[in-house]
Structure 1
Amino acid sequence: NHPLDCPVCDQAGECGLQDYSYQYGRGHSRFQEQKVKSPKKDLGDHIYMYSDRCILCTRCVRFTDEVSASKELMVDGRGNKATIDIFPGVPINNPIASNVIDLCPVGSLLDKDFLFAQRVWFLKSTPGIDPLTCSGDNIWVEHNQGKLYRVKPRENAGINTWWITDEVRYGWKFVHAENRLQAPARREHGMMVEASWEAAYKQAIRVIKSNAESGKKTALVVSPMLTTEEGFALVEAIRAIDPSTALFLGPVPIDGEDRSFPNPAAGKPFVMRAEKAPNARGIRRVLEHFGGFKEFGTLVRNIGEFGAVVVTGNYPSDWVTSETQSTLGGKDLVLIDTHETSLCGGASVVLPSATFAEKSGSFENVDHIVQHFDQAIPTQHASKTEGQIAFDLRDLVAGRELSEPFVTGGVQIVDEQPGQVPAASDAVTMIRGELFDDAGVRTAMGAFDAFASYADLERAPEAVLVESDMAMVEL
């Protein structure tokens, strides 16, 4: 009864039934009977079911019985009228429900969020690590032409086995949010105005130095959303400006309690973590290496001791409370963040940074397992990674030029003729400098005992492309 929906089916290109049909199937159908047509069903917040494509393998039913233990799905009916369905009034909305989409071998259970968004053969898969919680779950970040389209689980028997939470699967939308900071800004005559990176950097350095020279301390708040390499580079850069800078760990969000799911095939439960920060342990390791740190709440209570405050954010949503805003609002604030928050209006300098998908580095999870992930897409707008910002500040303090790969001056190609080198209206100026490289920072970190586990960290394996074995024929 399976329909020939391949040209319009979202599963096309990654469908097990397609593979088997090509390898073992006939070129024509022997089916003479009337095919059974079944309606499309809305099973929950994230899942559509195209019932006529279902082959009744019951993988999804077993998942809700054995792994999530929520038992929303069942086989309803008998014979050729049997279908997968939910119990009346009980949608499949458990926290790991969308794993049934990955389990479905055909295009029956489909992701509402990804439906008709992209053909899968256009997508590029980059290995990533859960950027939202401390679990360290392995993921594939799938993207095309600089835009994320979906996140899927990447198998790791020692951590997440085959699953991820719906929170991680759908929590990446902030990467392309409309409130992303798009360019550096600095305060001039009481107003925030857009500035070049160099001008913003120089004002940030002036703010920190002037406070230090007047006897006021500098505070650096390092977010647990940053990679370990970025945290290391940032502390070095700010202490190159003010060696007495005090270190603080940014807020570590906690939402409820950990929740476990049976996952009997793995021999251990799958755990949904309540700690909503991917690298609090890695950042703590960095701050302890540089002489110790205090929690963010201590800074809020003792804010009067500090003149300049450098704050990193990179949280997926607005993390600034009214208390934080009122406390930091009266200080010389250098804000390094991905999205516009209520702190932006009161800052001296705002530097736009990159999200997890726009950088590479390592996170240390709740079990102190260090894992590497790769950059999936280019940095959005004019943002830079926190690591690159740290390197740029360090270069300017040392009297070097900014570390940019190249700077162009409005290049326009004119009078292009076959066989001729095209002329340009403006010259292209190349500025050589050191770019942030997480592997290089890890090598430097490896010289210290505290980072022994980082020295030989292997890169995450790349996606294995499956090439068709179909013979080429002349048309």
Structure 2
Amino acid sequence: MATVLVNDIPVDIGDEKLNCIQAAERAGVTIPHYCWHPALSVVASCRMCLVMVGEKKPDGTVAMQPKVVPGCQTPVKDGTVIQTLDPKSTGAQQSTLESLLLNHPLDCPVCDKAGECLLQDYSFQFGKATSRMVDEKNTPPNKPNIGPNISLFTDRCIMCSRCVRFTREVAGTAELHVVQRGNHSEIDVFPGHPIDNKLASNVVDLCPVGALASNDFLYKQRVWNLKTVKSVCTGCSTGCSINLDTNKSVVYRLRPRFNPRAQGHFMCDEGRLGYHNVNSALRFTKPLERTNSGTQAIDWQQSVAKIDQSVRSAAQTDAGKIWFVLSPFLTTEEAWLLASYARSISPFCRIVSGPVPSHGVDDNYPKDRKGNPSTNPVKFTIRAEKCPNRRGIEAVVAHFQKSPATFADLLAACDRGEVAVAFVTSGYSTAFPAWGTETAERLGKAGFLIVHDMLPSALSDAAAIVIPAAAFSEKDGTYINHAGLAQTTEAGCVPQRGARTDGQIYLDLLGRRGLVRAIEIRKEIGKAVPALAALATGELGEHGVFVTARA
């Protein structure tokens, strides 16, 4: 077992290939750094991670190198000794910080990065309390809108080059580059070629200071006012792990959360900016009932009672004419509760998966110079399947619906006039709608159409009862991605204006008392469905667990 000493703390690294920064992290020691990132190449340009490194000899003595070395570029092995508290290490870090701060503006009160800025943090932890700068600062002009979603505050840049390496190595589009030389070096784009690739906003996350800013988030919130919860992106079937940042039940931004089992370190702009429908003023907030005189709002108790009455009344005649559509945007727990309700009515009620939105083909990165997928190993994929939980829904449907049925069968039955009640769940993105006018008209032929959705659509216009749906940011639950990775999502907001979560509505229909608890339902599913047995513990961990649900 290989052992490294970090400030006299032994760290077992096994056979892993680590650098000094990573080994120090294992010991709970921070080696400050700007340019290094585990998903990018090593350039050792910021010089912030300079530390004293040596080697333990067989006789027990330690031979230290005479000068500080960059921790990001120095691999460790058995017997490596790292000293971050040595005066040479701390002196080098202080000098580097002083150099970086010479021309850095005091923008902290207005900078979006304030509160999560590595320059702030490291200046406090490792820097000097005073500045010796007496000359006028070099303040190059800022470059707003270097891309549709990104602005560059040039005077804040510390030239770590993370953004440049990302566009070259991960996106493959290489829009960003370094211009000028020496003290006048700047980040810029080529004339007429803004940074507008589908992964562009990741450079904002990578920037350790506030040089690159998101136009979507710019000047909207101070980060210390935000509540952050762990969630899952619902934009496609990759199921990127994300941090959901909210304040007073308003979503302000989504950020990628590292998950080696899902997407790695990054996320696409399509998913990152796809949250705006959550804050939409057009969202349904109260149940609606369509009558001969028009549409009127009803309370929640009335809506649940009317739905239950309509379903049970139809079941007395022919339960085979009652259809439940489980949207791939439902959590696995919500799908389980609604399917359980259907089975509580009759074993002959039909349960089908909702349509799976798809757009083009899987989009792999990095790209080559012509914009085609590179022959290099794939580092990120935007899936063509634009929903988060197809596999979870299919596993639930397969458990409850032994005889195969599809959404197309429902439409055909509607055309024949053989559908008494259709309970359709939605939640589809407006960018990839599932309900065209033709589909809505066909579903409208059902004797009694119940639509559970967030926003008005052609389908909700045809419904007898519309129930407001909760957004992904408003509920706890589990999504299962294209590879069978089950991850939990946490609620960062409360449903708007007294609305209820989907799971709570289905729990009320089932007649169960109390509040819905996703973890308890998850355990119930894991014990009942062999393909989802991995959910039986309730806790899925930071990075999720793989299930055996069919693809």
User: Does the 8 Å contact 1:352/1:382 carry over to 2?
Assistant: no
Q: 1:334 aligns with which of 450, 460, 469?
A: 450
Q: Which residue of 2 aligns with 1:6?
A: 108
Query: 1:427 maps to which residue?
Result: none
Distance 1:460 1:175, change over 3 A: farther
Deviations 1:282-329 (A, max 9, x none): 000000001244332232123222111000001122532011111011
User: Paired residue for 1:363?
Assistant: 479
Paired residues of 2:441 and 2:462 also in contact (CA < 8 A) = no
Name the counterpart of 1:274. 384
- The answer to whether the aligner puts 1:148 opposite 2:251 as a matched pair is yes
Q: 1:24 to 1:450 in 2, by over 3 A?
A: closer
Q: TM-score, normalised by structure 2?
A: 0.74
Contact 2:262–2:485 (CA under 8 A) maintained in structure 1? no
More divergent stretch after superposition (13-22 vs 184-193): 184-193
1:316 aligns with 2:429: yes
Among 427, 434, 438, which residue is 2:514 paired with? 434
Which residue among 76, 96, 101 is the counterpart of 2:204?
101
The worse-fitting range, judged by mean Cα deviation, of 275-284 and 6-15 is 6-15
Residue among 272, 288, 312 paired with 2:398: 288
Residue 208 of structure 1: SS of its match in structure 2? Answer: helix
Q: Distance in 2 between matches of 1:344 and 1:158?
A: 37
Cα drift, residue 459 of structure 1: 4.8
Q: Secondary structure at the match of 2:458?
A: coil
Report the secondary structure of 1:275's partner residue: coil
Say which SS state the counterpart of residue 498 (structure 2) adopts: coil
Give the distance between the partners of 2:182 and 2:282, measured in 1 at CA.
53
**Please, which runs of 5 or more residues in structure 1 have no aligned partner?**
396-402, 404-432, 463-475
Partner residue in 2 for 1:445: 525
Partners of 1:316 and 1:234 lie apart in 2 by 21
Shift of 1:190: 4.8
SS at match of 2:473: helix
Aligned counterpart, 2:292: 189
Max Rg structure:
2
Pairwise CA distance, 1:457? 4.3
What is the aligned partner in structure 2 of residue 307 from structure 1?
420
Say yes or no: does 1:298 pair with 2:409: yes
Match of 1:38 in 2: 140
Letter matched to residue 259 of structure 1? D
Aligned to 2:162: 59
Letter in 2 for 1:344: S
TM-score relative to the length of structure 1: 0.86
Give the distance between the partners of 2:198 and 2:106, measured in 1 at CA: 33
Matched, 1:118 2:221: yes
Aligned-residue identity in percent: 39
Partner of residue 456 from structure 1, selected from 537, 540, 545: 537
Tell me how large the CA RMSD over aligned residues is.
1.9
Whole-Å separation in 1 of the counterparts to 2:195 and 2:378: 23
Q: 1:248 aligns with which of 352, 373, 379?
A: 352
CA deviations on 1:410-458 (whole Å, 9 max, x unpaired) are xxxxxxxxxxxxxxxxxxxxxxx32211111112112222321211242
Residue 410 of structure 2 aligns to a residue whose secondary structure is helix
Moved more, 383-392 or 227-236: 383-392
Match of 1:315, SS state, is coil
Write the mapping of 1:91-240 to structure 2, written as runs, cut at 5 A. 91-215=194-318, 217-240=321-344
Q: Distance in 1 between matches of 2:176 and 2:196?
A: 11
Deviates more, 1:282-291 or 1:73-82: 73-82
State the 1:380 CA deviation. 1.3
Deviation at 1:272, TM superposition (A): 1.0
Partners of 2:531 and 2:215 in 1: CA distance: 45
CA contact (8 A) 1:204 1:348 kept: no
**2:466 pairs with one of 346, 350, 365:** 350
Asked whether the 8 Å contact 1:128–1:373 carries over to 2, the reply is yes
Q: Which amino acid aligns with 1:285?
A: A
Q: Which has the higher contact order (CA 8 A, sep 6+)?
A: 1
AA aligned to 2:329 is M
Matched, 1:387 2:500: no
SS at match of 2:121: helix
Offset of residue 31 of structure 1: 1.9
Return the alpha-carbon distance in structure 2 between the equivalents of residues 295 and 133 of structure 1.
21
Separation (CA, whole Å) in 1 of partners of 2:141 and 2:405:
58
- Over 3 Å counting, the alpha-carbon distance change for 1:348 and 1:179 in structure 2 is same
C-alpha deviation, 1:75, in angstroms: 0.3
Question: CA shift at 1:237, angstroms?
Answer: 1.0
CA distance in 1 between counterparts of 2:293 and 2:317 reads 22
Q: Deviations over 1:176-224 (max 9, x none)?
A: 1121111012233352211111111121122222323333610111100
Aligned to 1:412: none
In 2: Cα distance, 1:71 partner to 1:52 partner? 22
Residues 256 and 274 in structure 1, CA contact (< 8 A), matched pair in contact too: yes
Output the CA distance in 2 between the equivalents of 1:259 and 1:345: 35
Residue type of the alignment partner of 2:524: A
Aligned 8 A contact 2:343 2:400 in 1: no
1:282 aligned partner, one-letter code: G
Give secondary structure in 1 for the equivalent of 2:482.
coil
Q: Which residue of 1 aligns with 2:84?
A: none
Deviations 1:52-98 (A, max 9, x none): 11111111000011111100001011122211000110110101011
Runs of 4+ in 1 over 6 A off after TM superposition: none
Gaps of 5+ in 2: 1-102, 368-373, 544-551
Query: Take 1:44 and 1:308, find their aligned partners in 2: how far apart are those partners?
Result: 49
1:306 aligned counterpart, secondary structure: coil
Post-superposition Cα deviations, 1:380-409, rounded to whole Å, max 9, x if no partner, equal 1232222111111111xxxxxxx7xxxxxx
**Does the CA contact (< 8 Å) of 1:184 and 1:194 recur in 2?**
yes
**SS at 1:214 equivalent:** helix
SS of aligned partner of 2:147: coil
1:69 counterpart residue number? 172
Q: In the comparison of the two structures, how many residue pairs are matched?
A: 425
Question: Which AA in structure 1 matches 2:458?
Answer: S
